[in-house]
Amino acid sequence: MNESKKLSRRAFLAKAGGSVVSIGLPGIFVKLMDLENLALAAEMRPDGRPRLPPSQQAVKKIIDMGGVQGTADSKNWRLQIHGEVGRPTTLNFQELLNLSQVDLTCDVHCVTGWTLLDSHWGGVRLTTIMDLVKVKENASFVIFEAASGYTSNIPISEARKENVIVAHSFFGRELPRAHGAPVRTLVPDRYFYKSAKWLEGINFTAQDDPGYWERQGYSNSADPWREERFK
């Protein structure tokens, strides 16, 4: 990738919901020591890919990437699940908790160049929700709908992975507001902008509908191991 296009080395500004959001500002990462990074980069995942994707730096804590926060809390939050489904459903927070719960430990990779290893999340597998609403065979994509009109999109094949969840806790505690509370999505094998914060809806569609950052020129597939940052 051309040096001028490495997100870890430049600032990207975007207007979202009337406010300016700065992502990828250099110098804000609390990085692990170089020797630790080298050791982690040498580790392999079960699928044979390196644990640390190319051009990523391991960090000690998740970084707040901004965005327009939702106003809902656990008392008034609602999740509308619609589109190509047999049983359109709206869940409140307690109904989400009543579904089968999972604890997930995974690495997350931001397009700006940081990776948080061994992050701990709690929530509901997306496949559990898909079974609940009876997703139709013609559904090929999932559109995550978040506060202030933010959306992200993934293929249905990605949604069926066991590590794709609707998350409500982080390291055993309530998900922090800055990181998407009360509920966000988590898609660990794609750059983090696919993991929409402040989730309000899930739309199953036959046609793809690129999300907010994808419309700004970011990759629609967003594979960290292929460094698919831009279109």
pTM of the model: 0.87
How far does CA 80 lie from the centroid of its chain? 18
Under a CB-based contact definition with an 8 Å cutoff, are residues 127 and 159 in contact?
Answer: yes
Which token pair is 48? 């044979």
Q: What pLDDT sits at residue 28?
A: 57
Q: What pLDDT sits at residue 42?
A: 86
Task: Domain ranges for the chain, please list them.
Answer: 3-226
Which token pair is 60? 């000690």
Condensed to tens digits (0 to 9), the pLDDT of residues 112-131 reads 999 999 999 999 999 999 99
Q: What pLDDT sits at residue 168?
A: 98
Condensed to tens digits (0 to 9), the pLDDT of residues 37-88 reads 888 888 999 999 999 999 999 999 998 888 999 999 999 999 999 999 999 9
Under a CB-based contact definition with an 8 Å cutoff, are residues 109 and 45 in contact?
Answer: no
User: What CATH architecture applies to the domain 3-226?
Assistant: Alpha-Beta Complex (3.90)
Our CA angle for 120, 218, 194, nearest 5°, is 25
Condensed to tens digits (0 to 9), the pLDDT of residues 141-200 reads 999 999 999 999 999 999 999 999 999 999 999 999 999 999 999 999 999 999 999 999
Q: Is 228 exposed, middle or buried (0-12, 13-18, 19+ CB in 10 A)?
A: middle
The pairs formed by 117-120 with CB atoms below 8 angstroms and a separation of 24 or more are 117/40, 117/51, 117/52, 117/58, 119/62, 119/170, 119/171, 120/170, 120/171, 120/172
How far does CA 161 lie from the centroid of its chain? 13
End-to-end CA distance of the chain: 12
Question: Rounded to 5 degrees, what are φ and ψ at 215?
Answer: -75, -15
DSSP-assigned beta bridge partners for residue 201: 80, 145
